[in-house]
Structure 1
């Protein structure tokens, strides 16, 4: 039973420590919408989304009001569109019409974002996959709420280097297509290795083909809560530190479990997973970087940062799995630069660079996330950065991702302003030496030897 002390403690977390449910995400299968006629396909997609999700936002708002728990985003994820549109789409422009249909449906049901303009190409690309990927710059330019992802590698299959090379070009093209919006399209585009198919967080969310017809996934957050708890045990042993993080993660996850179960019951849609990732925002006091500095590093990026992040990530998971039987998604700690004021401060101080961020991704939830780079960065260099991050995921049997933003017309030291949850991003330097000969090799990097587990 929940006692009055726990209730008061949760209220304190919500009111003063930035605890929130970051998102309720409804996953919707579009496999039954497949049609060889493009107009019929778009009609079916629009009808299915607007029917299934018509009460999503209002239900989230009712739960917020009734339980006093902020639910920041209400979102939708759909089946990867390369699978849905393959029979009807003959050109990249055909796929763009689907993106526009998704955007219209998202606007009409009033969600914040819709994910699933995606392709899964870790071992090879179909014609439909390639057309969707080549349509991404135009799709991101012509939509507001649609997010895109491409999975180019996995521990089981290796890394599709043809897709990695193509994605370097696509990221550059997407930046150019949305340069009037501060290259915003790239903030809605992520490249994955080992992408989970039950991820409620954008931009990488899509509804996996192994999922039910519809599902409710919830992503909780709370770096401010963890930071506040650690302030009370400053200078204590590692044992006390770890116990404090686990207990805090348990409490945060229980709030998410309550919201998930209520949303599932009221919408009549099965509950999927809780993603208990510490997802920061630009708000002061809502930073993963601040937690690392509270653990003991002078500035994020200093020696000891990777170890502190590994400790944090592991204890968050250990605490969370005690609070819910269905923990999934990414679950751990996100380290996006633009969305975390503490990370921005560390970059500006000079303690945090691209190479240190890459080292940190070996032990955290995702990867190189929301990082702005000079607009004149070559596409092959972007592909090389993607390949490095995919290799980390492949070898370590974990999800890794890259969300880079080549800031057209800006150089190292400038700032890219997005506002809202996306924040602002200092333009970070990129290694000036090239990797063209490596990226231009065709084929794929084979799966590591530990992939053979069948």
Structure 2
């Protein structure tokens, strides 16, 4: 039975602590849309997306109104387009046409993002996958709602360094193509190692090939709730600290499961997973950085930051798993710089550096996320950063990702502004020592010894 105290507690989380369902995401398989004709492919994609998702936004708004729970975003993920479009797309122009079809479909049903303009190249690239990657500058500069991702490595296969080298050049090209908006196209592009199949969060979401025809996934966020809960544990032992985080994550996840199951029932689609991720926004009070400070750090980046983040990430996962049998996606703590007011402050003060962020990605739920860097950073340096993150993911059997924004025409001391949930922030310096000879070797970094588990 739900007690009156629990109802009041949940209301307080929503009203004062910025608890929200960050997204209801409908995953849609496009495998049955494949065609040898690009125009037919685009029509098939549009027809299927619109027919399945036409009620997604209104359903989310109805649930939010009925239960008083903010549902911030409604989104769609689709099967990685490189798999769906390989038979029809024989040029960059063909792939851009598909991106525009996705964008038109997203606009028609009213979602804010559609993810899955993606390629999975952890071992090697097919000609179709290479074409999709080369189309990214045009696809992301000529659409509004399309998000893209490329998986360049995994613990089982190693790291495709040819893809890593290509992505450095492509990210630079996307930045130039959207230079009039502080290279905002790069905010919609993620490079993964060990990408999950069921991620409802953008920009890295796609509908995995192991999924069914359509599914409802929900992403829940609540760093403000965790921060408030930790105020009651100031000076307490690590035992009490961990228990407080775990119990709070449990409550947040149960709220998310309620929304997910209700959306699943109303849309007559299977419920997939709850992604419990402490995903911040630029709003004050909605910050993972504030949680870390409440744990006892003067500022994010101080000695102990990585340990504090490890505790937070682990206890969030434990609380989520206690609350639901279907926790998935990227569940844990996000550390995007431009989307978190306290992280922005720490970076501006020089307390938080790119190197410290890389150390923190060993224990967070994703990786180097939403980091503005100088526009003149070389493609090889960007590839080197991607390789570093992919290596962390590959060796540690975890998902890692890179979402860097080399802001065209700006450098250290300048500020980038992307707007909305994407936020903005100071441009972080990048080590200017060259790694070009390393990146340009080509080939593949082999999988680690512990990958052989049959």
Q: Shorter-chain TM-score category?
A: over 0.9
State the Cα deviation string for residues 282-324 of structure 1 (Å, max 9, x = none).
0101000111111011110000000000000000011111110
How far apart in 1 are the matches of 2:232 and 2:251?
A: 16
C-alpha separation between the residues in 1 aligned to 2:383 and 2:424?
Answer: 24
CA distance in 2, matches of 1:442, 1:387: 12
**Structure-2 residue corresponding to 1:406:** 406
Show the counterpart of 1:173. 173
**Which SS does the other structure have where 2:233 is aligned?**
coil
Give the Cα separation in 2 of the matches to 1:238 and 1:62: 41
- Measured in 1, the distance between the counterparts of 2:333 and 2:206 equals 20
Match of 2:453 in 1: 453
* Residue number in structure 1 paired with 2:68: 68
| Runs of 4+ residues over 2 Å off in structure 1 | none
Aligned residue in 2 for 1:81: 81
| 2: CA distance, partners of 1:419 / 1:32 | 36
Superposed, which structure 2 residues align to 1:2-401 within 5 Å?
Answer: 2-401=2-401
For residue 250 of structure 1, report the CA deviation from its aligned partner: 0.4
Task: Provide structure 2 residue ranges, at least 5 long, that are not aligned to the other structure.
Answer: none
Give the whole-Å Cα distance in 1 for the aligned partners of 2:233 and 2:79: 45
Q: Partners of 1:442 and 1:172 in 2: how far apart?
A: 19
SS of structure 2 residue aligned to 1:23:
strand
Residue 180 of structure 1: CA displacement? Answer: 1.2
Deviation by residue 1:214-273 (Cα, 9 ceiling, x = unmatched): 000000000000000001111111111011001100000011000000000000010000
SS in 2 for 1:442: coil
Distance 1:42 1:112 in 2: 20
SS of the residue 1:219 aligns to: strand
The 3-state SS of whatever aligns with 1:277 is strand
Task: Give the distance between the partners of 2:170 and 2:73, measured in 1 at CA.
Answer: 28
Show CA shifts across 1:94-127 (max 9, x none). 0000000000000000001000000000000001
1:353 Cα offset (Å): 0.0
Tell me, in whole angstroms, the C-alpha distance in 1 between the residues paired with 2:246 and 2:442.
Answer: 45
Count of residues paired in the alignment: 454
The Cα shift of 1:134 comes to 0.1
Q: Distance in 2 between matches of 1:166 and 1:5?
A: 55
State the Cα deviation string for residues 133-192 of structure 1 (Å, max 9, x = none). Answer: 000000001000000000000000000000000000000000001111221100000000
Q: CA deviation at 1:419?
A: 1.4
Deviation at 1:93, TM superposition (A): 1.2
Looking at structure 2, the residues matched to 449 and 154 of structure 1 have their Cα atoms a distance apart, in angstroms, of 13
Alpha-carbon distance, 1:348 to partner: 1.1
**CA distance, structure 2, for counterparts of residue 319 and residue 196 of structure 1:** 20
Whole-Å separation in 2 of the counterparts to 1:420 and 1:181: 13
> In structure 1, what is the Cα distance between the partners aligned to 2:7 and 2:322?
19
**Structure 1: gaps (5+ residues):** none
Deviation string 1:325-358 (CA, Å, 9 cap, x unpaired) is 0000010000000000010010111110000000
